[in-house]
Structure 1
Amino acid sequence: MGYVLPWGQMSFWGATVITNLLSAMPYVGTTLVEWVWGGFAIDNATLTRFFTIHFMLPFIIMGTSMVHLLFLHETGSNNPTGLNSNTDKIPFHPYYSYKDLLGALLMLTCLLSLALFSPNLLGDPENFSPANPLVTPPHIKPEWYFLFAYAILRSIPN
């Protein structure tokens, strides 16, 4: 079954359930929840903060991955055996840079051609069903994917 949540309230509800999990942490839970929420209620500042985190995280991961690859090229990798890994080092030569750029360019070309020439190829037909603001869409049933969160929250006394 489930209950009806208007489209505009889904993000507030999801943010409430997710951040309530933080309150289960001993000693620091309340402070974390108030910091994430930006106050005692979920408001536009909270959603902006969530959006910023979700937007920036892929770029942060990509940047740290690039730095990691650079250090692997320059210094080699460490190993737990304590053996010298100088023989495995690859100098950071333009050839490897060009190879990495070519791979990224091919991947970007595939992605752009998929997105521009056949954008609905990987889509869901449910996206084309007419909207009904009085019914929660079938792919958004709050109960099933937050069951673990409810189980955790219900097991902790207030």
Structure 2
Amino acid sequence: MIWTDERVETLRKLWAEGLSASQIAAQLGGVSRNAVIGKVHRLKLSGRGRTQTATPRQKKPAQPTVKAPRPAPAPRPAPSSFGATALQTQFDAEPLVRERVRNEENVVVPISRNLQLIQLNERTCKWPIGDPLAEGFHFCGNDCAENGPYCRYHARIAFQPASERRRVR
């Protein structure tokens, strides 16, 4: 939509008359309400004209009225604390402790062979032990199965059945 000088003048006139952006968009045609608002903002048109009302209301003579007393407002609870409390956590109950149920039959914790990265091959367990940035970092190094990178023990840790993962969450 291109704002021609004629359309801008029409916009200024209608805006000064007090029409809404939707009404101006309808009269201009081919322009959205948001486009009108954007153009008004760019033109810095601030003062709005008054909308015309049919006729000024005439005052009627005041008649005495009896108003019912207002009920007293209910007291608001006082805030429990002041200051920045948006990130303050409040715990109503003790945390739920979930026990991890594992089938521990025939699980033998292997003794690590303490292999370095250059000593690993396709038949050794690649389970990292320790902090990689620390001096004593090493890999498990025990014999692993044909189908994975870890020994039987570390494979059970790394690859948990989906049903057990859902239960832990």
Q: TM-score, normalised by structure 1?
A: 0.19
Q: Report the structure, 1 or 2, having the larger helix content.
A: 1
Which structure has the greater CA radius of gyration?
Answer: 2
User: Which of the pair has the greater relative contact order for Cα pairs under 8 Å at 6+ separation?
Assistant: 1
